[in-house]
Amino acid sequence: MFDNQKFQQLVEKDNLTGEVVATNSFIVEVKGLEGVRLGSQVLFEDGQHGMVREAYGDRVILFNIDTERIQPGTLAVVEDDMLSVPVGKGLIGRVVSPLGVPLDGKGAIRATEKSGVFNPAPGIMARNVLNEQLESGVTAVDMFFPVVLGQRIAILGDSKAGKSTYLSQLSASQQGKDRIVVYVLIGKRKVDVERLLAGLRSSGAMEHTIVVQADIFDSLTQSYLAPYAACAMAENLWYKGQDVIIIYDDLSSHAEAYRQLSLLQEVDPGRDSYPGDMFYAHSSLLERAGKLKSNNKTLTSLPVVLTPNDDITAFLPTTIMSITDGQIIFDLGLFRSGIRPAVNAGLSVSRVGGQAQTRRQKQLTSGLFQRLAKFHQAEEFSHFGSSLSKDATIDLKLGKQIYSILEQAPEQLLSLSQQQLLVEVVMMGKGEAEIDIPGLKEAVKKEAKVIKDEKEYDRVETALFRKFCKMPPTGEKLGDKPAGTEPPKEDKPTDQKPEDQKPENQQDGKAPKNAEAKPEDKSADPTDEKPAEKKEETTPESKKDKAEQKPTDKPIEVKVKHKKPDEKPAEVKKEKAHASS
């Protein structure tokens, strides 16, 4: 007789039994389970559970799911041909372990069904085209990188960069939309788990959320099994006609747990000491998402990957990006500079997001990318401290206005119509208008409720623009200098001549004649006319004299000779020559 009644019942059913012969932390070697299937669930005599990992005849390698302490000589019996977990709507609103054990103190789980953990993904013929956008309530994501229901999109970023905040906003925005969120916590600290659960409860998102928890104090095997068990719970609701969103937070901890188990199992390590099937472990998990053709319901996967020091070129981020249909990257540098949510618009991408957008939304997204690119270019030039051109000033101002409307507090959620109104009104200003951003955000929440078609969009946008946007005065555009700040222009002389060409009477010290003398003044002497107005005769001798008198630009070399005692100075000679002439 055994103390464990369930173990006694399984033995009486003639299930395969064996005995523990060796242990190495979570790796257990059992002898006597000949013919057991890989992935089968095993129950030990002391009540712990295990999963068959490898089988070599009568020697079987298991993963201990509960703890790393099991004594050699402990008996084991096969409980099920595959590892299974409880599924169904009874799990909604509960916090459970990867095996379905309740952790929230609300009593037993009311689940009458069980499902395998490692289920195959639907085939290509069973899938349908993705065409409906998933509203996250965050403008920086919905306007730039729209997520489609049924999509697999990775969430990458360094620790404390805003990933969990965005996922909490996404979960809260699904309230009242008949969608279930399955949140998987892998290798998290107790304080992080409690903070997340408190946020879900305060926002009301816990009413439509299933939390599967495997914290840092649980076994490595539970951290490894948590995403597969949570996906099985989500698939059951999906096949029964429910839209489901599953969040894996995070697959970096899952990969580390699997790496440690593989090293304990003495599996040959690969790149970064990860096992060789690390890519398959994640691809087989993420490819289970999609849209079914039978009921047009979707399963959306959002795997979270940690990128230390914002390095997205490491082994794990690159493998996840190659599996998914896009990635949203949260930049720690942007987060520290005050831009929140800190979404990196240059590296993020949604490969199927355009299928769920209208033509108007696509044009708006394209215009946003162009304006932000010009803003960053103008911002780089502004660091040099030099004056910017008019266009650069406009780009700089419009970029700051765009970033100001993208900033959202964690408790602020906006619908797609509100986001579109907000962005289009700012884009209408073209960087030349002064916009009351806080007042515009408040007004958009009210005005978006009355919009039903494209004409309503245009009417509401025009009204909001006139109310909250102030254009510069007529004739003065952004970047122009205010009137009166430019220095007065100097009047260019028209008839003024150089000093050496003044009339003879001015050179002799006499006052010059008034150039603006009235025509009726007949007392003016005709001999006082300007020399430039006289026509000189152009004879060959005059041309020769002018050529000799014409100064040259080249400097004249003067050779100084030693003068003789009886020779007079050159200046005296020049004066005599001038007098004789």
Cα–Cα nearest to 137, from 183, 177, 172, 179 = 172
Question: What whole-number distance in Å separates Cα of residue 3 and Cα of residue 5?
Answer: 6
Q: Phi and psi of 335, rounded to 5°?
A: -65, -40
351, 360, 459, 466: the catalytic one is 351
What value, to the nearest 5°, has the Cα angle with vertex 366 and ends 365 and 369?
Answer: 90
Task: Answer for the pair 78, 15: CB distance below 8 angstroms, yes or no.
Answer: yes
Residue 480's alpha-carbon distances to 352, 376, 429, 475, 477, in angstroms, are 43, 22, 17, 10, 6
Q: Is 351 a catalytic residue?
A: yes
Q: Which amino acid is at 167?
A: L
Helix, coil or strand: residue 139: helix
Strands (E), 450-521: 469-470
Question: How would you label 525-552 residue by residue, b for 16+ Cβ within 10 Å and e otherwise?
Answer: eeeeeeeeeeeeeeeeeeeeeeeeeeee
Question: What whole-number distance in Å separates Cα of residue 138 and Cα of residue 166?
Answer: 8
Question: What whole-number distance in Å separates Cα of residue 412 and Cα of residue 379?
Answer: 28
The radius of gyration of the chain from alpha carbons, rounded to an integer in Å, stands at 42
Helices (H) and strands (E) in the chain, counts: 17, 21
Structure tokens at 200: 């879900």
Peptide bond into 250 cis (omega under 30): yes
Secondary element (H or E) of residue 580: helix 570-580
For 564, residues 6+ apart whose C-beta sits below 8 A from its C-beta are none
Question: What whole-number distance in Å separates Cα of residue 182 and Cα of residue 167?
Answer: 11
Question: What whole-number distance in Å separates Cα of residue 470 and Cα of residue 478?
Answer: 12
Peptide bond into 551 cis (omega under 30): no
Q: Which residue bears the tokens 């013919």?
A: 35
For 14, residues 6+ apart whose C-beta sits below 8 A from its C-beta are none
- Side-chain-side CA neighbours of 358 within 13 Å: the count stands at 7
Cα–Cα nearest to 211, from 171, 243, 173 = 171
Question: What whole-number distance in Å separates Cα of residue 53 and Cα of residue 76?
Answer: 15
Helix, coil or strand: residue 137: coil
Catalytic residues: 351
